[in-house]
Amino acid sequence: MSNWVAPFLNRPVDAVVDLPGSKSITNRALILAALADGPSRITGTLRSRDTDLMLDGLAAIGVGVDFHSDDPTTVDITPQPLHAGAVDCGLAGTVMRFLPAVAALADGDVAFDGDEQARSRPLDTVLDALRSLGASIDGRGLPFTVHGTGSVAGGPVTIDASASSQFVSGLLLSGARFVAGVQITHSGAPVPSMPHIEMTVEMLETAGVTVDFDASSTRWSIAPTTVRAVDWAVEPDLSNAAAFLAAAPATGGRVSVPRWPVTTTQPGAAVLGILEQMGAEVDHRSDGLLTVRGSARPTAIDVDLHDVGELTPTIAALCALAEGTSTLRGITHLRGHETDRLTALSTEINRIGGDCRETADGLVITGRDRVDLHAELWRSYADHRMATAGALLGLRVEGLAVEDVETTAKTLPDFVKMWEAMAGTAS
């Protein structure tokens, strides 16, 4: 780990940032391609720690993975008989929650493990669900072993997915290959990040898998069917765009992102409306160029982030610079992410002289003028979004250092180079 002094700007930012592909789309496309009825090509593949762990995990259990020598973001996936192997999950929630259902279709034992921090992440929901669907699994969290038998009986299952939408997506992505398909009923508090499930459903339907959703009973149903091979083109990652776009209102400047989709299922797109609420201007040209312009100091907001919890660290950092008191609600589930993000954000914002307190389901942040904030070591807690939040505050707090900025490689391996280029401080 190293401490990186984030670039400080005493002027408005003015930059164009070209972002790599979406992690969420990439890892869903990889799962669907691995289970399809023929080879698929994925272009714009995000190459980050999380996606490379997914690629390595699929290859470890028999899936053909071939990269183009002249373009590492283009990968050919060839479905093959699945066999025993070992999967390193790292800290990737999509790997530890999506791949077990695939591993249950393998012929042989598949051992899962990951980083030390990952061993405390909740997995019993998806593992117990797979057991009730006919899979044999030892363990309730990392490390665990799936004893694959080549098939999964499938059928109805009731789960509590209030801790993560990934529990639903993980079962849906493989459900068409189960003998009786799958019928998932959610029972509990509202499912967070529902747009991520909508993304899963849309991608399944693109691959020829019909998903019936009964909103009245919160039930998703998939009949056993063939997953059609699809050549996927991955959109830019709009969640990774959030911190870069927030640099515009943070500094009163301008940041543009090319290739912003006209329509998308990525929850990260919601950042635009939130930035507008904080006083920024948003312009989306017909050629796909998206521009955010800040003016004076951002204004405080009261917003429910239940469906877009991944944006919380960026929005919280911006609120620490805003004029007034902001309330971020609906994000209790963030306590079960890479770290307890609510406690982490409150601790780090207060460490640099800010005013942040935790509530039962979120944060209340009273903004401070940047001259009232001071440089300290911003701890990342091995959480990529905590690291990028620190970088955002560093634009206005001279000398702020971010601990373990390398953790951003989880979803954005070139983050430091890209951030310094945006700030105009790259060597």
Q: 410 among the known binding-site residues?
A: yes
Number of continuous H segments (helices) and E segments (strands) in the chain: 12, 23
Mean pLDDT to the nearest integer, 208-229: 97
**327 three-state secondary structure:** strand
The dotted CATH code for 23-233 is 3.65.10.10
Q: 28 among the known binding-site residues?
A: yes
Are 130 and 174 spatial neighbours (Cβ–Cβ below 8 Å)? Answer: no
What residues are annotated to the active site? 310
**How high is the pLDDT of residue 1?**
56
Structure tokens that stand for 129 in this block: 């669900």
Instruction: Classify each residue of 260-299 as buried b or exposed e, where b means 16 or more C-beta atoms within 10 Å of its C-beta.
Output: beeebbbbbbbbbebbeebbbeeeeeeeeebbbbbeebbb
Position 296 confidence tier, pLDDT thresholds 50, 70, 90: confident
Residue 427 has pLDDT above 70, yes or no: no
What is the rounded CA–CA span in Å between residue 51 and residue 187? 30
Give the amino acid at 336: G
CATH 3.65.10.10 fits 3-21+236-423, yes or no: yes
Alpha-carbon distances, residue 321 vs 158, 361, 396 (angstroms): 43, 22, 8
33-55 tens-digit pLDDT = 999 999 999 999 999 999 999 99
SS (H, E, C) 158-196: EECCCCCCHHHHHHHHHHCCCCCCEEEEECCCCCCCHHH
366-420 tens-digit pLDDT = 999 989 999 999 999 999 999 999 999 999 999 999 999 999 999 999 999 999 9
Q: Which residues sit opposite 323 in a β-bridge?
A: 299
Residue 2 has pLDDT above 90, yes or no: no
Q: Do domains 3-21+236-423 and 23-233 have the same CATH topology?
A: yes
Q: 24 among the known binding-site residues?
A: yes
Q: 380 among the known binding-site residues?
A: no
What is the rounded CA–CA span in Å between residue 7 and residue 376? 14
| Domain spans in the chain, listed from the N-terminal domain onward | 3-21+236-423, 23-233
State what percent of residues in the chain have pLDDT above 70. 99
115-171 tens-digit pLDDT = 998 998 889 999 999 999 999 999 999 999 999 999 999 999 999 999 899 999 999
Are 325 and 357 spatial neighbours (Cβ–Cβ below 8 Å)? Answer: no
Name which of 16-20, 67-71, 118-122, 230-234 the model is least confident about.
118-122
The mean predicted confidence, pLDDT, of the chain is 96
